Structure 1
Amino acid sequence: MVLIETYLFIDLEATGLPEEENNQTKITELSLVAVSRKHLLTTKAGEAPRVQRKLTLCFNPGRAIRPIAEKLSGLTNVMLDGEPMFGHDTCRLMEMFIKLLNRPVCLVSHGGNYLDFPVLKKQLYEANVSLPFDLRYIDSLDVFYCVTEGANAIGSGFPHSLKIRLAKSYKLRDVYGRLLGRPPPQTHRAEADCLLVLECAVALSSKFVDWVDKHCKLFSQQKCLGS
């Protein structure tokens, strides 16, 4: 078990779902919001830590954005025409941002095992860049489900990899509503979604921290999309 010092909440918007794009999905927006263990634990439920480190970038994906993804994210190919493509410089920027944080660092993404982590890993691979070797990751969907339901750790890709029907929805907006007692102000904007997951983590406090310490994995072990 490792004691995480920094939680790096990550969310990305993309051109579509991998199964609809033959695993050629590209990132259109990426946001990172870093918060220390101390600040997460000492922030009152219903609030977000005052001290945050942020990085948010938009990208020209170099391929058509599917209509449903365009509708959800509000990003169009025309809007992103002048933005840089996700490449080597972007990856180096991410690497330097992460190196500024107190280690160990853990990436936290809602549904990340299914989309964010494999898509990011593939784009890092294509740019021939690796993030710090000791970087860890966790899917907050797993955390929120296991902590609130009292379940054991679940496998990669849950719930997409398992043919089960949950009694309650674990979409981010629904988890947020149950834990915070109010509807989320905005969804499907990368930075906004990072902050929603952060507020949910604050609401669970030590339960969130303890579960992540026990179950986070090395990001170097994460597979690329399609592999």
Structure 2
Amino acid sequence: MASGDKKVSTYVFLHLNTTCLPDDDECQITEICMFASRRNTLEQSGGHTEIPPLPRVTNKLVLCLKPDADIQEDATDVSELTNESLSHQRRFSSHTVSAMQAFLKHLEEPVCFIAHNGNTFDFAVLKAELNRIGQPAVFVPMFCADSLYAVRELDPPAEEVSFELLSSSLKRKSGDSTKTSLKRTKTAPATSTKQTPGHTSLLKKSYSSPAVPERQKRSYALREYYKDKFGMLPRNSHTAEGYCKALVTVVQTTPKFCEWANKNKQKMSTIQPA
């Protein structure tokens, strides 16, 4: 079996705080966290509907870094890091890379990075920093997967989700006969001539309930998605470690995430630097 076909043994949740926000160019890293957990541990804790405890056995590396660029105000608002607070930290360098490599070698292989919006930000910014210090080949053989795509696919705000809520509501109110009527009128349920006035009234009432619009307006940005699922913002998510922990919680409560990540993982070599 080729190494690319092997199941990932360890997931390394990666998050970067930077000098600017993702929409801006040439961000430099101000804080990096790698938070590692074995795949089997995450699979065993999956399927929760409430906030589960984090896995007991984890490994982590957290580094704060002094950037060459000024930290933009909006980035400080997110991370609470300033040029002054980082003035006595080391810059991103070959020593930073060596520390990261040593950490990764401590973990059971195969290893895969997981980052939320990683393809266009975390992985891309990391590769740009590696290019900047003349070490572009580092981490190229590593696997990576973007959890943003995972939750969009595994927990979609699709019309069929809203339709299931609607159908369930109508079934409770009107009995099993409503289900057949709904199937015939899925595209325009409120205007169908085959429905009785009672059914039309129920459909209008169901569509005006708050549950359906909430699903349709779902944000997949990690903090907002977390709040949508659990009714609160994640604790300390302004820190790279706190953000990683929030991402672990999302993974723990997303059925089939590990299966998705193993199927959709790619090599870091496919990521374009920011």
TM over 0.5: yes
**Which of 241, 253, 265 is equivalent to 1:191?**
241
* Deviation, structure 1 residue 180: 3.8
- SS of alignment partner, residue 122 of structure 1: helix
Q: Who is 2:11 aligned against?
A: 7
**Residues 1:36 and 2:85 are matched in the alignment:** no
**Which of 139, 144, 162 is equivalent to 1:137?**
144
* Deviation, structure 1 residue 178: 3.5
Q: Who is 2:208 aligned against?
A: none
Question: TM-score scaled to structure 1, two decimals?
Answer: 0.85
2:21 & 2:43 partners in 1: Cα distance? 34
Question: TM-score scaled to structure 2, two decimals?
Answer: 0.71
1:200 & 1:108 partners in 2: Cα distance? 12
* Deviation, structure 1 residue 134: 3.4
Gapped regions of structure 1 (runs ≥ 5) = 152-165
CA contact (8 A) 1:2 1:214 kept: no
Cα shift readout 1:5-64 (whole Å, capped 9, x = no counterpart): 1000000100003553xx321000000000001111123632210011000010100110
**Residues 1:218 and 2:267 are matched in the alignment:** yes
**Which of 147, 167, 176 is equivalent to 2:154?**
147
* Deviation, structure 1 residue 132: 4.4
- SS of alignment partner, residue 212 of structure 1: helix
- SS of alignment partner, residue 79 of structure 1: coil
* Deviation, structure 1 residue 128: 3.0
Letter in 1 for 2:117: G
The 5 Å alignment of 1:25-104 reads 25-43=27-45, 45=48, 46-104=52-110
1:67 & 1:133 partners in 2: Cα distance? 32
- More helix by percentage: 2
2:157 & 2:224 partners in 1: Cα distance? 18
Letter in 2 for 1:174: E
2:107 & 2:100 partners in 1: Cα distance? 11
Q: Who is 1:120 aligned against?
A: 126
2:243 & 2:57 partners in 1: Cα distance? 17
1:110 & 1:167 partners in 2: Cα distance? 19
2:85 & 2:64 partners in 1: Cα distance? 10
CA contact (8 A) 2:111 2:143 kept: yes
1:173 & 1:131 partners in 2: Cα distance? 30
Identity of aligned residues (%): 32
Larger CA deviation: 193-202 vs 166-175: 166-175
CA contact (8 A) 2:218 2:225 kept: no
**Residues 1:177 and 2:227 are matched in the alignment:** yes
CA contact (8 A) 2:218 2:228 kept: no
Letter in 1 for 2:12: L
1:132 & 1:122 partners in 2: Cα distance? 12
2:267 & 2:119 partners in 1: Cα distance? 13
1:93 & 1:221 partners in 2: Cα distance? 23
2:23 & 2:217 partners in 1: Cα distance? 25
CA RMSD of aligned residues (A): 1.9
* Aligned residue-pair number: 208
1:91 & 1:174 partners in 2: Cα distance? 32
* Deviation, structure 1 residue 2: 3.8
Letter in 1 for 2:65: F
Bigger Rg, structure 1 or 2? 2
Letter in 1 for 2:236: Q
1:71 and 1:150, CA in 2 relative to 1: closer, same or farther beyond 3 A?
closer
- SS of alignment partner, residue 148 of structure 2: helix
* Deviation, structure 1 residue 127: 2.4
